[in-house]
Structure 1
């Protein structure tokens, strides 16, 4: 989702970097003023970074199991069947009991992450795992077909797709 959010403005990674810089810019001078030592302040901020890192690791480890439990409590499976179909008129995204249809003029861009292809449809995302493709040729054929139906403006905003198709 970070990639999607980055396309809309400031990404979560940029926000994290900004927060870390602020921790340094505020933490060290305030710590130095309170303790009277720049060294003690710098060391305490370094330990704050270490604590932040440990906290991030703990949250990452707990996020998956807690998501599974939350879905199970609502009677939903963690893994659900997904299909993404290209029709002459629209891109059709079927995820279990949910169907989204996006007419091609609504598809604003297509980009690739390490594990996914992401179609941005106005302010929503249709995410297609790259593991769905059995061969690189099948993946390329799908992307060629999708980009051929997108508007010129959407293709211009999709350099990842153009580069992939060019290979």
Structure 2
């Protein structure tokens, strides 16, 4: 059984954020901590230095707005700079992807890259909003959910993958179990 489609360069980065969250602190959690620190430390310190709580609160609010605008700018620049960097190296922005389930292994074929993971190495299978992510030891094989023509096809594929995974890996894959009704 296999799924085939096209994956763009850098597309799996959003799925990787969830992986970081499963292993520790996710990028979203880091941003939240930074924003809370801006409030909890910024306002009292600003009030103490300036002698005005109102001025301190306003400066922290403007810092929030500046951080938000900065994040938007970084997102826009990252996308175009990645395309340029790939073009400079002669790499395509879009790559054909095939994820194949064989009795022995999970085979991830992305452009000129081919990875094979024996089922005993697959440790988790989880769903993000747009992706299915197979954790293979310390690496990830990311499968865009849009590649499935129907939700039934997605369910059949995930059920087949789960049937080949170890019991421990199935236990660590509650998203997949919910999808297949197990």
Length-normalised TM-score, structure 2: 0.89
CA distance in structure 2 between the aligned counterparts of 1:129 and 1:135, rounded to whole angstroms = 13
User: What count of residue pairs does the alignment treat as equivalent?
Assistant: 167
Unaligned runs of 5+ in 2: 1-15
1:51 to 31, 46, 66: 66
CA distance in structure 2 between the aligned counterparts of 1:66 and 1:75, rounded to whole angstroms = 14
Q: 1:62: how far off? A: 1.6
CA distance in structure 2 between the aligned counterparts of 1:62 and 1:9, rounded to whole angstroms = 27
CA distance in structure 1 between the aligned counterparts of 2:43 and 2:152, rounded to whole angstroms = 54
CA distance in structure 2 between the aligned counterparts of 1:79 and 1:17, rounded to whole angstroms = 32
The answer to whether structure 1 residue 7 and structure 2 residue 54 are counterparts is no
CA distance in structure 1 between the aligned counterparts of 2:23 and 2:86, rounded to whole angstroms = 28
User: Match of 1:141?
Assistant: 156
2:86 to 51, 71, 83: 71
CA distance in structure 1 between the aligned counterparts of 2:179 and 2:75, rounded to whole angstroms = 31
What are the superposed Cα offsets for residues 24-54 of structure 1, whole Å, 9 maximum, x if unpaired?
1221111111110111101100000011011
What are the superposed Cα offsets for residues 106-126 of structure 1, whole Å, 9 maximum, x if unpaired?
111101111110001111110
SS in 2 for 1:80: strand
Runs of 4+ in 1 over 6 A off after TM superposition: none
Q: 1:97: how far off? A: 0.8
What are the superposed Cα offsets for residues 93-141 of structure 1, whole Å, 9 maximum, x if unpaired?
0111111111111111101111110001111110001111111111111
Equivalent runs, 1:14-33 vs 2, <5 Å: 14-33=29-48
User: Match of 1:119?
Assistant: 134
CA distance in structure 2 between the aligned counterparts of 1:121 and 1:62, rounded to whole angstroms = 31
CA distance in structure 1 between the aligned counterparts of 2:119 and 2:23, rounded to whole angstroms = 20
Relative contact order higher in (CA < 8 Å, ≥ 6 apart): 2
